[in-house]
């Protein structure tokens, strides 16, 4: 693998930031889905099945919603790490490019 050009460095940096943005969008979509859709659906299931089954569904659903939120948080953290790493690599590659010229 040879030395990168200024344009290749910029493209790679832009691509990394775009991927981070996609992860953030997915995280936001997951959070919205948990907020809007999961709660009412679980309530409907709970009300449909009375007794122990309804309570089991409610407990399982609450755990699932928490898992969704945790996954969204993980995706946000990964996006932040991608941006941070991309910035470090970008600065290093730009510095190396200046040394070559």
Residues 82 and 101: their CA atoms lie apart, in Å, by 28
Q: Tally Cβ neighbours within 10 Å of residue 89.
A: 14
DSSP secondary structure, 69-95, as one string: HHHHHHHHHHHHHHHHHHHHHHHHHHH
68: buried, middle or exposed (CB in 10 Å: 19+, 13-18, 0-12)? middle
Please answer whether residues 86 and 17 qualify as being in contact, where contact means their C-beta atoms are separated by less than 8 angstroms. Answer: yes
Alpha carbon of 50 to those of 22, 47, 70, 79: distances in Å? 41, 6, 29, 42
Per-residue pLDDT of the chain (101 residues; tens, 9 = 90+): 457 888 999 999 999 999 999 999 999 999 998 888 776 777 676 677 766 666 676 667 777 888 889 999 999 999 999 999 999 999 999 998 887 76
pTM of the predicted model over 0.85: no
Q: Domains, the chain, ranges and CATH?
A: 6-100 (1.10.287)
């Amino acid at each position: 693998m040879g030395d990168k050009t200024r344009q290749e460095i910029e493209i790679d940096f832009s691509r990394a930031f775009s991927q981070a943005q996609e992860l953030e969008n997915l995280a936001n979509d997951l959070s919205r889905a948990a907020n809007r859709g999961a709660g009412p659906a679980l309530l409907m299931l709970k009300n449909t099945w009375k007794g122990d089954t309804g309570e089991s569904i409610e407990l399982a659903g609450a755990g699932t919603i928490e898992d969704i939120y945790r996954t969204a948080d993980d995706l946000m953290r990964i996006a932040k790490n991608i941006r941070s790493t991309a910035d470090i690599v970008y600065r290093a590659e730009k510095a190396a490019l200046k040394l070559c010229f």
